[in-house]
Structure 1
Amino acid sequence: MLPPRAPDSPLSVLHAVQPGDGGVARVVVDLVRDQIRAGTRVTVACPPGTPLADAVRAEGAGVHAWRAGRDPGPGLVRETLGLARLIRTARPDLVHAHSAKAGLCARLAVRGRIPTLYQPHAWSFEAVDGTTAALARAWERFGARWADRILCVSEAERRTGEAAGVTAAWSVVHNGVDVARFASDGPPRNPAPTVVCVGRLCRQKGQDVLLAAWPAVLADVPTARLVLVGDGPDGDRLRAAAGPSVRFTGAVDDTAPWYRAADVVVLPSRWEGMALAPLEAMASGRPVVVGDVDGARESLPPAHAPLCLVPSEDPAALAAALGRLLGRPELRERLGREAREHVLSSFDVRRTGAAVAELYRELAGVRGTEHREPIAQ
């Protein structure tokens, strides 16, 4: 058993994270930065050599190499035991597990012995079908007993969990973005109307739906150009399906210049908790078109939904929405101004950090001074 934390000592938090890139990593980096500035003692367990590991180390967090893959598999026992060792080494007052894989391993490793916060960042069972989806739902229902709180990034994500039979103590804290970082100096001055999609090239983000819609967009706006920013497992297949009006940038260190270069930003996801890319685009003063999945409606200004929210996996509806905005520059400018004001008022990352910090204080106080170790080997 670990000694109790002194009342005047700083709170100690361990973030267990898999994946080490993409939107989840950006959320974790923002949280870590805010927590270190507030005096929290922060440790991050994540795959080594990832953008996340480098970024949180630069912020001053302790970083432990946790060699975990994205998907469950034969290495699950090794990954869980490895995380248990890291937790014993870090001796945190609270464990914050991000995404399905880390949530699985952390809850198995800790099993309620340390206050545990699980943040799905979109539910695992939405990414799969059939028997695999049924097993994922069953695990989420069972594993909820080992989370003191499940933190969702949208009310829609919470409702999806409840509909799947997950019974938990819930909190909802919307994702936030650094509004100063994404500020722009006005609309772009492109020689041709430009649509930008920022996201990992994978089934979740729906770039295949966007490419299926693109010929209809070109029929309305023949000079339009599409830029896909990011890389991922579907990159080769998407490149093979794209025409000459589509550009692939690959992975980039900074997405902000691409938002500023866009007339419209699009993210036709199949599932999300609450995607960061639309929030970042709106912080840049750009109108967004998004698939109607968890968190999408909550992220938009309410008046924008009829124009900017389209059914998931519907290329015709997506093409119609993009063509409508590309053909009306004055509408784009108005929507962009309203979008930035919306993010400033509701999705500033500082609000997110403050809400999570309050949740930490609540959970750390639930157990008083009792603090036991995770499972031993």
Structure 2
Amino acid sequence: MNIRDVEVIAPNFKRRLSGVTSTIIQLLPLQARTIGIATMGPDVLPRDVPRLPYSALLALWSRPARRRHRIWHARRNVEMLAGIVLRDVLRMPLKLLFTSAAQRRHTRWTRFLIRRMDAVIATSSRSASYLDVPARVVMHGVDLERFRPDGELPAGELADRLAGRLVIGCCGRIRHQKGTDLFVDALLAVLPDHGDWTAVITGRTTPEHAAFERALRGRITAAGLEARILFAGEVPDIAPWFRHFDLYVAPPRNEGFGLTPLEAMASGTPVVTSDAGAFAELVVEGVTGRVVPAGDADALGAAIRPYLADAPLRAATAAAALAHVRVHFALEREAAEIAAIYDTLWAD
């Protein structure tokens, strides 16, 4: 991209896939239709995400063609710090914007950085409640073209094994924080009573959590459910799996925002979630799914059980979930609300 055309830089200084990275991957190509925007960082993002090389930093003393200054839209501490150095030390014409998804009080260091931002976005009302500065709430949206009820289904050996089965899914990295063990505990309690259901857990297990996964597999085998609670590992595209799931469960103990319930609901799948992250603000309790206290495997199992036995309940919940996401959580709505904040910063 020509640096003169770049009005917003949304840095991504992390190599591994995360919720923040997923947001950038989905949002930037849409934003780029109307705004000169690009990311900057390790070359790990898909090619349709506009990006600048690090060498472009040298050109940030110049102003963009249509604006008095650029916006540096950070989503992590290191990206806020970089923006502060560029603006306050190197005196580049930048306005700094930070998006906070944290569901806890920030550390002193993070609060120091946030106070130096020109504007702050919170991804939920809960996130905003932990901030010491004014913030505009802009909840994440979901790509309704990619996540929809009709479309490609999973293929391969695992999908073949699931033919004719009802499937309950859980997605995310395999670790204590994500509540994978809570999901397993809930299934050990409810699956023996519902022989037509199989569970699929997708997500990567990093080396430091390998023992955690082994322990889960041991408990599943001891219960005689190793053929009905399956670990799929990291899948290349999660969207077909959301369409394949008959029920989706998001059980994390803590979460920043958490997109997977939205992606499942947009795929026409009812959800059961913990109240971590923004889940309680995404799910309409008893209408588009159920929300239970984080860390409570018994409550999780009790919320799952009715869906396993009641096909009309699943169908009604799925229809309500799909309508809810399409009205309130389209990615275009998120992009428009962020664009309004950009306009405010440019007008200042």
Query: What TM-score do you get using the length of structure 2 for normalisation?
Result: 0.82
Please tell me whether residue 148 in structure 1 is matched to residue 118 in structure 2.
Answer: yes
Q: Identify the residue that residue 58 of structure 1 maps to in structure 2.
A: 48
Write the deviation string for residues 17-63 of structure 1: whole angstroms up to 9, x where unpaired.
2434133222112221122211x332312233x2x2xx1x334x123
Identity of aligned residues (%): 29
Q: Tell me the distance in 2 between the aligned counterparts of 1:332 and 1:206.
A: 23
Q: Secondary structure at the match of 1:275?
A: coil
Q: Identify the residue that residue 96 of structure 1 maps to in structure 2.
A: 73
Offset at residue 15 of structure 1 (A) = 1.0
Q: Tell me the distance in 2 between the aligned counterparts of 1:145 and 1:118.
A: 10
Change (3 A) 1:235 1:255: farther
Q: Which structure exhibits the higher relative contact order, with contacts defined as CA atoms closer than 8 Å and separated by 6 or more residues?
A: 1
Q: Secondary structure at the match of 1:337?
A: helix
Offset at residue 153 of structure 1 (A) = 1.2
Please tell me whether residue 23 in structure 1 is matched to residue 23 in structure 2.
Answer: no
Q: Flag structure 2 segments of 5+ consecutive residues without an equivalent.
A: 62-68, 154-161, 221-225
Change (3 A) 1:303 1:88: farther
Please tell me whether residue 336 in structure 1 is matched to residue 336 in structure 2.
Answer: no
Q: Tell me the distance in 1 between the aligned counterparts of 2:30 and 2:246.
A: 32
Which one of 74, 82, 102 corresponds to residue 122 of structure 1?
102
Write the deviation string for residues 61-88 of structure 1: whole angstroms up to 9, x where unpaired.
12336xxxxxxxxxxxxxxxxxxx7644
Q: Flag structure 1 segments of 5+ consecutive residues without an equivalent.
A: 66-84, 127-132, 367-377
Which one of 133, 142, 145 corresponds to residue 168 of structure 1?
133
Q: Which has the higher helix share?
A: 1
- CA contact under 8 A between 1:152 and 1:273: conserved in structure 2? no
Q: Identify the residue that residue 212 of structure 2 maps to in structure 1.
A: 237
Offset at residue 11 of structure 1 (A) = 5.6
Change (3 A) 1:103 1:332: farther
Query: What TM-score do you get using the length of structure 1 for normalisation?
Result: 0.76
* Structure 1 segment 268-307 matched on structure 2, within 5 A: 268-304=251-287
Offset at residue 236 of structure 1 (A) = 5.1
Q: Tell me the distance in 2 between the aligned counterparts of 1:252 and 1:237.
A: 20
For the aligned residues, what is the CA RMSD?
Answer: 2.7
- CA contact under 8 A between 1:99 and 1:121: conserved in structure 2? no
Write the deviation string for residues 294-319 of structure 1: whole angstroms up to 9, x where unpaired.
311111135437x6101101111111
Q: Tell me the distance in 1 between the aligned counterparts of 2:134 and 2:79.
A: 19
Offset at residue 206 of structure 1 (A) = 1.6
Partner AA of 1:62 in structure 2: R
- The number of equivalent residue pairs is 316
- CA contact under 8 A between 1:283 and 1:344: conserved in structure 2? yes
Change (3 A) 1:63 1:334: same
